[in-house]
Chains A and B, each alone.
Chain A
Amino acid sequence: MATTVFRMQGITKVYRTGAVDVQALRGIDLELFEGEMVVLLGPSGSGKSTLLNILGGLDTPSAGRAFFRETELTSLGDAGLTAFRRNHVGFVFQFYNLVPSLTARENVALVTEIATKPMRPEEALERVGLADRINHFPAELSGGEQQRVAIARAIAKRPDVLLCDEPTGALDSQTGIVVLQALYDINRDLGTVTALITHNAAIRNIAHRVIYLADGQILRTQENASRAAPSEVSW
């Protein structure tokens, strides 16, 4: 049995917007294991992003407990969560979120400067196939290239976990496949636990496990007996 990296027990999240309470998560129990790639699948408003944010220490649940290895995330304050993100988590978002005033290499260096055992920015960019674009500013890169810089930035600190929220959402399928390949390779080569949110059901085949969410609850999980290569995915 693989080691548990994340453990969630009865996670509930309620957002108060104006006078209305919105129940985003309703008692989620979930475990993620060492070296695993998980795809979270579900319609808008199913609670995928909220779940990912709680995993990544960007948000805290209204009830329930979440653990990262032996550390209880739900007991950490702002400083503890910041340290958790800094040392253990890599994020990739739909809209890249690169710093426009920094080049590709500098965007990666932003992270390696504060990490404890980082790889060199150049190495991270090589891994995503951008060795020749390291001195370009984000505005000089295509969408796919920007997303790959974001991935390089996320993995450069050698995170324990990589959390990706719709990483291909803003990309065409061809570019999307290049990005998925980068994530796939990293998971395979570095053994980084990877959780990936998508609307796109076709992507589920590259994961070890697929978690279906709806209405703030886990409907079911499905293990893939054999994983597809990203190049086989199409949408």
Chain B
Amino acid sequence: MRALDLKLIRDLRRIWAQSLAIALVLGCGVMVLVLANGSERSLILTRDAYYDRNRFADVFATATRAPEALKGEIAHVEGVAQVDTRIAVNVVLDLPGVQKPAMARVLSLPPDGPPLLNVPLLRLGRMPDPLHPNEVVLSEDFAQANRLIPGETFRAILNGQMRTLTVTGLVLSPEFIYLIGPGTMMPDDQTYGIIWMNRDAVAAATDLSGAFNDIALQLTPTASRDRVIQQLDLLLAPYGGTGAYGRDRQTSDAFLSSELHQLSAMSLILPPIFLIVSAFLVNMVLSRLIALERPQIGLLKAIGYSGQEIATHYLKLSIGIGIIGVALGWIAGAWLGRSMTALYADFYRFPYLLYAPGTWSFVISGILGLVTVIVGALRAVRASARLSPAVAMLPPAAPLFRRGWIDGIGRTFRLRQTTMMILRSITRWPGRASVTLFGVSASVAVLIASFFSFDSMKQMVDEVFYQTNRQDITLTLTGSRLRSTEEAALTLPGVLRVEGAYSLPVRLIHGSKSRLATVEARGDGDVLARLLDTDGHPVRIPPEGLTLSESLAQELAVTPGDTIDMAMLVPPRETVQVPVAAVIRQSLGQSAYMAETPIFALMRQSAQVNQVHLLTDPAALPAFFAAVKRAPGVNSVTLWTDVRDQFDATMNENLMRMTIIYSILGILITVGVVYNAARIQLSERAHELASLRVLGFTRAEVGYVLVGELMLLTTVAIPFGWLGGYGFSTMIASGFSTDLFRIPLVITRKTYALASVITFASALASALIVRRRLDRVNIAMSLKQRQ
């Protein structure tokens, strides 16, 4: 091995702690890239393979009752490759030993083999025998949660009739990778599942023989999806079609896409911070090393090494640090990616989910990591190449200090000389102070951006569950009923208050923008389901016009005062022009609202309900559940307290995990920056600090000079970190928000304080670790040397 390379290896070993501190920061950036990119790729690969193999449809639609003959007509629409019709109904179940009413969506299976599209994947048992109308297969997780194995039976109310069904098998479906009940956000395997049943049996029970109410299409590769949707809407309109939609509006696919969206946002937002900080650190440490090795550089040049050879030597050193960082990042990224994928496998219902990060994320993160250290090293390395041998072998000139504004501060506040040393050092090397400032504020920012998710989730929960949906239970009815249904609901056991609601499926059109949505009719006196203005205060529904959620208004590009077209997707199926009256805050979902009087006037109908919100007496719930299980008109039951608990539990678990990871990342930046800055300070000022010891300063007083400067910089950096954290949280809130939910930008004082305290403590700990080295400096010996 060449002598210069031996020197390189020994140098790296000598400055191992500093190299490791940089490598860790760099590794964080690489890790996030590998983690986010790898998980994204794994999810996409698995999803695509699953969709492909089980023929996940491209377009979906529902109707009230469409004749089977329409299928042929739909198949002829240009761009349609496959058509699959079926019957889909919601049912309330009476499961053995389960008090709460569980619900399921019943889907019909064709009599002559598997469906053409959205093919269920059999995991256990067998598919139902077409000759046995009571045989069903269940979605796997629902069956497992309720201990329903093939051979078991359970009861369901199908169109008002209690039926006993026999389980023959368990399946998974590409349609239900993320399976949630109506009106909920999180999967609850115990209370919501999918039942596949022979079509004849479902048709007989639902009175839909020779007809369908649910359709799925597969498109040809060149088809225009929007045009097909338009055609399909036209064809289904006479049969109660409520608007066709593509995969992007299909619940399961939309959730999966939002997850992918978040992963890709994460890989864009986070890594640059770590890479920039590491580049600065490399520059800082390498500059110091080169300053220390000036005489050696002079000697090397004197004996004939070229500037380029010396530059390459130091460049290799930084690449060495880069390689360590990239390797650490790869290992941590692959490991975390694996556990993240396991988490996904838990959350999403894939038949298999393999962690396959692909070489791409490794290659790209590796290249970025190495480019970072090279860019960081360039300035210092160029200086080493330019150093003339004669100058290099002379001791470096003493640093020049000048009188300036610092003196005024010193005089005004009667600062001690040790404090003046701190202030002069900062103003003498502003570049180095800026790196520390930048690094520490980046760390505060990462921590704020991590903790802010708790604040925004808390706000979201408060808004969704305490401010807007204050009902305990929502019953969705099988169809529209007269307002008198409210009185009937009041007679159910334990019901304290009833508020009827009506939701109208519409297509909202503004210029070239069009969106499927539901308009919810709101009564003036509603106190359970409420609306919030953009500041979060409850508001009354405007007497006229549409009220839109912020994200819906943004997507349609409308503001209050604009007029939009509202196509009603139920009779009278007219398109009317309505003004936008107000825009409100809504974190979950995208809805539109209208006062009941104008909505029913537009529909030319008397007021109706298709939902009832209930306030109930908890003590009477068993009796209430028993009654609901027998009630014929109930399509689905939403238990808001359950939804809230589920939401809280899932969010807290996931957020906690993410917060721990982000906090480690944030702390690592501070440690990397402050530790390196302190080591450099110590190396430059050992002599000066030893002088103070000789003069009779205690260890603590001398430590103050070293630690004080870094802590002063840390203190100054923290407010910048607040600003950065705010900006960073804004990016995350908008980057992570999707059609499904909108992350409110809320950062509490507690979050700012916590991020500051953690950063301050980790900076102090890093500086104190270096301060301990001061104790090892031999005072007498260090004073014998020339400065």
A and B from one complex: yes
Asked if A4 lies at the interface with its beta carbon under 8 angstroms from chain B, I say no
Which chain B residue lies CB-closest to A58? Answer: B780
Give min CB distance, B422 to chain A, whole Å.
Answer: 9
Cα of A97 to Cα of B783 in the assembled complex, Å: 7
Interface residue B696 (Cβ < 8 Å from any Cβ of A): yes
CA distance A107 to B692 in the complex (A): 10
From known contacts A101-B425, A110-B417, infer whether A93 and B698 are also in contact, taking CB-CB under 8 Å: no
A110 and B779 within 8 A (CB):
no
A228, CB-defined interface residue at 8 Å: no
A87 touches B696 (CB 8 A): yes
Residues in B whose Cβ lies below 8 Å from that of A145: none
Given contacts A49-B780, A106-B420, contact A97 B694 (CB under 8 A): yes
A138 at the interface (CB under 8 A from B): yes
Residues in B whose Cβ lies below 8 Å from that of A85: 694-696
Cβ-neighbour of B399 out of A58, A100, A110 (below 8 A)? A100
Complex Cα distance, B785 from A93, in Å, reads 10
Among A101, A111, A137, max chain B CB count under 10 A is at A101
Taking CB atoms, residues of chain B closer than 8 Å to A89 are 696
B420–A79 CB distance below 8 A = no
CB distance from A95 to the nearest CB of B (A): 5
Cα–Cα distance between A135 and B212 once the two chains are bound (Å): 96
Nearest CB of chain B from residue A124's CB, rounded to whole Å:
13
- Most chain B beta carbons < 10 A, residue from A78, A82, A94, A111: A82
- Chain A interface residue count, CB cutoff 8 Å, equals 38
A157: nearest residue on chain B (CB-CB)? B696
Whether B694 and A58, one on each chain, are in contact in the complex, defined by CB atoms closer than 8 angstroms, is yes
> Does B691 lie at the interface of the complex (its beta carbon under 8 Å from any beta carbon of A)?
yes
**For the complex, is A162 an interface residue (Cβ under 8 Å from B)?**
no
Q: How far is the CB of B772 from chain A (nearest CB, A)?
A: 14
Chain A residues within 8 Å of B699, by CB: 78, 82
Would you call B783 and A82 a contact (CB within 8 A)?
no
Expressed in whole angstroms, the Cα–Cα distance for A63 and B54 within the complex equals: 88
> Are the CB atoms of A102 and B421 closer together than 8 Å?
yes
Residue of B nearest to A99 (CB): B688
Centre residue among A58, A59, A87 by max chain B CB count within 10 A: A58
Q: Is the beta-carbon distance between B696 and A82 smaller than 8 angstroms? A: yes
B424 at the A interface (CB under 8 A) = yes
Instruction: Let me know if B417 and A109 touch, CB within 8 A.
Output: yes
Does any Cβ of B come within 8 Å of A199's Cβ?
Answer: no
In the complex, the answer to whether A101 meets B400 with C-beta atoms within 8 Å is no
B397: A residues at CB distance < 8 A: 139
Is A91 positioned at the interface, with any CB of B under 8 Å from its CB? Answer: yes
A51-68 interface (Cβ within 8 A of B): 53, 56, 58-59
Interface set, chain B 678-692, CB cutoff 8 A to A: 687-688, 690-692
Report chain B residues within 8 Å CB of A83: 696
A16 CA / B687 CA spacing, docked (Å): 23
A150–B701 alpha-carbon span in the complex (Å) = 20
Flag whether B398 is at the interface (Cβ < 8 A). yes
Partner among B424, B425, B698 whose Cβ is within 8 Å of the Cβ of A82: B698
Q: A114 and B696: CB pair below 8 A? A: yes
Q: Is A153 part of the binding interface, using a Cβ–Cβ cutoff of 8 Å?
A: yes
Tell me, rounded to whole Å, the shortest Cβ–Cβ distance linking A99 to chain B: 5
Flag B740-764 by CB within 8 Å of A: 1 or 0 each.
Answer: 0000000000000000000000000
B784 at the interface (CB under 8 A from A): yes
**A31 at the A/B interface (Cβ < 8 Å)?**
no
B2: interface (CB < 8 Å) = no
**Minimum CB–CB distance for A163 against chain B, Å:** 10
CB <8 Å contact, A137 and B400: yes
Expressed in whole angstroms, the minimum distance between the Cβ of A174 and any Cβ of chain B is: 21
How far is B693's CA from A49's CA once the two chains are assembled, in angstroms? Answer: 17
The answer to whether A49 touches B784 (Cβ under 8 A) is yes
Contact B696–A59 (Cβ < 8 Å): no
Contact of A97 among B400, B417, B687 (CB under 8 A): B687
Interface centre among A79, A84, A91, A153 (most CB of B within 10 A): A91
On whether the beta carbons of B695 and A100 are closer than 8 Å, the reply is no
Tell which of A86, A100, A102 has the most Cβ of chain B within 10 Å: A100
CA of A19 to CA of B617, assembled, Å: 85
Q: Which residues of B contact A113 (CB under 8 A)?
A: 416-417
Contacts of B417 in A (CB 8 A): 99, 102, 106-107, 109-110, 113
**A-side contacts of B693, CB under 8 Å:** 82
Q: Is B418 an interface residue (CB 8 A)?
A: yes
Q: Which residues of chain A are near B403, meaning CB under 8 Å? A: 103, 135
* B421, A114: Cβ atoms closer than 8 Å: no
Task: Collect the chain A residues with CB atoms within 8 Å of residue B785's CB.
Answer: 95
Q: How far is the CA of A157 from the CA of B402 in the complex (A)?
A: 27
Q: Which B residues lie within 8 Å of A82 (CB)?
A: 693, 696-699
Query: Inside 8 A of B698's CB, which chain A residues have their CB?
Result: 79, 82
Measured between beta carbons, the chain A residues less than 8 angstroms from B695 are 85-86, 91, 110-111, 114, 153
Residues of B427-471 at the interface with A, using a CB-CB cut-off of 8 Å, are 428
What 1/0 flags go to A28-57 for Cβ under 8 Å of B?
000000000000000000000100010010
B643, chain A: closest CB distance, angstroms: 63
Q: A95-B786, A101-B401, A101-B425 in contact; A110/B418 too (CB < 8 A)?
A: yes
B308 is an interface residue with CB less than 8 A from chain A:
no
The 4 A-B pairs at the shortest CB distance, nearest first, are namely A86-B696, A101-B424, A85-B696, A110-B417
Beyond A58-B780, A97-B688, A110-B418, 7 additional pairs, beta carbon < 8 A? A82-B696, A82-B697, A98-B691, A99-B688, A100-B398, A103-B403, A157-B696
Between A and B, 9 residue pairs with Cβ closer than 8 Å are: A85-B696, A93-B784, A97-B694, A99-B417, A101-B401, A111-B695, A137-B402, A138-B398, A139-B397
Chain A contacts to B: CB under 8 angstroms = 49, 53, 56, 58-59, 78-79, 82-87, 89, 91, 93-95, 97-103, 106-107, 109-111, 113-114, 135, 137-139, 153, 157
